[in-house]
Chains A and B, each alone.
Chain A
Amino acid sequence: MPLTRDQLAVRASKELRDGYIVNLGIGIPTLVANHVPKGMDVWLQSENGLLGIGPFPTEAEVDADLINAGKQTVTARTGASYFSSSDSFAMIRGGHIDLCILGAMQVSQGGDLANWMIPGKMVKGMGGAMDLVAGVKRVVVVMEHTAKGQTKVVKECSLPLTGKRCVDLLITDLCVLEMDRAAKRFVLKELAPGVSIEDVKTNTAAEIVVPANVGVVAV
């Protein structure tokens, strides 16, 4: 069975470590915030200038001057700080963020990422995605393995790139793939429960490394 959106978020949350500074993208990545393991201290950064995102506000706490990068009203946790966009991206580009989790339209076998534009169709812009994948220490992508019957794990991205060779870990509804920097290929680490290696191969255009032992995603 392919993983659900929530199960994808649960699997992604396993990449969190105590004390990590983390930036979560919009969509499934945002759900990861709901699955921070108990007792683990993780600081969420929002690229519009907040370190220490708290829970959504109660109706009485809503403050138009306090939003996250998805433009949702949020709160700030105790110890949080506010800063300008240039300070925020100095934090991102300077390698001061431990982990970012974001969505994708395509990921190539060499770890290229495309997630900001469909020429002639979708012209919203890249926002902070190019900065995040260029500067954050570890880049985790969470996405569905296929879209409309087409694989999103491709040999080469046909869509305009967000970054080259930037994806460290790819979590899809079928499997978990980890980049081997030396081999420049993804290694199949885990399968979703009930999904076979054949299923992954059928739905993948990228050349991937399949080791003798492949785990199962704990959900």
Chain B
Amino acid sequence: MGQKVFDTAPAAFADLAAKGVLRDGMTILVGGFGLCGIPEHLILALRDSGVKDLTCVSNNAGVDDWGLGLLLQTRQIRKMISSYVGENATFEKQFLSGELEVEFNPQGTLAERLRAGGAGIPAFYTATGAGTLVAEGKDTREFYRPGEAPGGATVPGRGYAGRVMKDGPSPVRLDQAEPREYVMETGLYGDLALVKAHQADPFGNLVYRKTARNFNPMMATAAAFVIAEVDEMVPLGALDADAIHTPGSYVDRVVRTVSVKRIEQRTTRVP
């Protein structure tokens, strides 16, 4: 087991260009939902590395002066794959001027594409986005809902998993069921993933905290090189093996940082 723990984000980035991990035109997965659970210091180190023409996969694009918004300001990002990018004027300006390419994915499709990519699944079908712009140019096919074609398993001679066969006998319970349209989406895999967790041990086992988990666990499985930024380092054996969210084998490097954890909408009640 090589040394995974680094003292600072810049230290964790120092040899990445020389190793060929960091290069212009690469695809980088960045965890977080809004500014919650983003790898703040890794994003700063990525900016300072000067790498450019990036494709960034991240649910959002940060705000103008924090998170991935920082890399938009420096024009290091060529393309974003995201589900929602409000709250960022720089983004809107660069997108409307054609400088920045954007691929909108429904949030669940984005999450599932990452999960699939990490699990070695090249493609899957989902009902999300059927009949919308999202489905344009994609393969579509009719299936019964899994719950309406029970068993889900192969029905000999009748296709598989409730797929609608154009000719021949139908699967099951068809008197009530209506087939519906599904869209084929592909698995997503990155060259590098930057994730944020709460705790890590020296092997790279990760535990996330509350809603800061969001996209981080899937991203940690879906890239060739994975760096995690964490609030706390604990000794090997200190984490409950039953409660580890990301097994350490997925993680190449770990950095402990003190995060700012900026809040976008501070809403409170009077006690």
Contact = CB atoms under 8 A, between A and B. Distances in A.
Counting contact residues on chain A (CB < 8 A from B), the size range is 35 or more
Nearest to B134: A130
A56 B265 CA distance: 11
A152 B114 CA distance: 36
A88 interface: yes
A213 B132 CA distance: 36
Contacts of A64: 36, 212, 261-263
Contacts of B265: 67, 70-73
B266 interface: yes
Contacts of A85: 33, 59, 107-108, 110-111, 214-215, 218
Contacts of B147: 95
B3 to A, nearest CB: 28
B210 A76 contact: yes
B132 A163 contact: yes
A4 interface: no
A84 to B, nearest CB: 5
B176 interface: no
Interface in A90-115: 90, 92-95, 112
Interface stretch (A44-52, A138-146, A168-176, A190-198): A44-52
Contacts of B145: 95
B107 A131 contact: yes
Interface in B102-121: 102, 104, 106-112, 114-115
A162 B132 contact: yes
B108 A57 contact: no
Nearest to A48: B33
Contacts of A123: 85, 92, 95-96, 102
A125 B131 contact: no
B130 A127 contact: no
A127 B107 contact: yes
Given A84-B214, A85-B111, A123-B95, A56 B267 contact: yes
Interface string A22-50: 00000000000000000000000011111
Counting contact residues on chain B (CB < 8 A from A), the size range is 35 or more
Contacts of A65: 36-37, 198, 209-212, 261
Contacts of A209: none
A128 B106 contact: yes
A84 B127 contact: no
B36 A124 contact: no
A66 B214 CA distance: 11
Interface string B172-199: 0000000000000000000000000010
Contact of B111 (A74, A88, A161): A88
29 contacts: A47-B108, A48-B214, A59-B268, A60-B271, A62-B263, A62-B268, A65-B211, A65-B261, A67-B34, A71-B33, A82-B213, A83-B213, A84-B215, A86-B111, A86-B112, A89-B107, A89-B111, A93-B112, A123-B85, A127-B106, A127-B107, A130-B106, A130-B109, A130-B134, A134-B127, A134-B128, A135-B127, A135-B128, A163-B132
Given A60-B271, A130-B128, 19 more contacts: A48-B34, A48-B214, A61-B268, A65-B212, A71-B34, A73-B268, A82-B211, A83-B213, A86-B115, A88-B108, A93-B126, A117-B133, A125-B83, A127-B84, A130-B109, A131-B109, A134-B126, A134-B128, A164-B130
Interface of B: 33-37, 59, 82-87, 92, 95-96, 102, 104, 106-112, 114-115, 126-134, 145-147, 198, 208-218, 245, 261-271
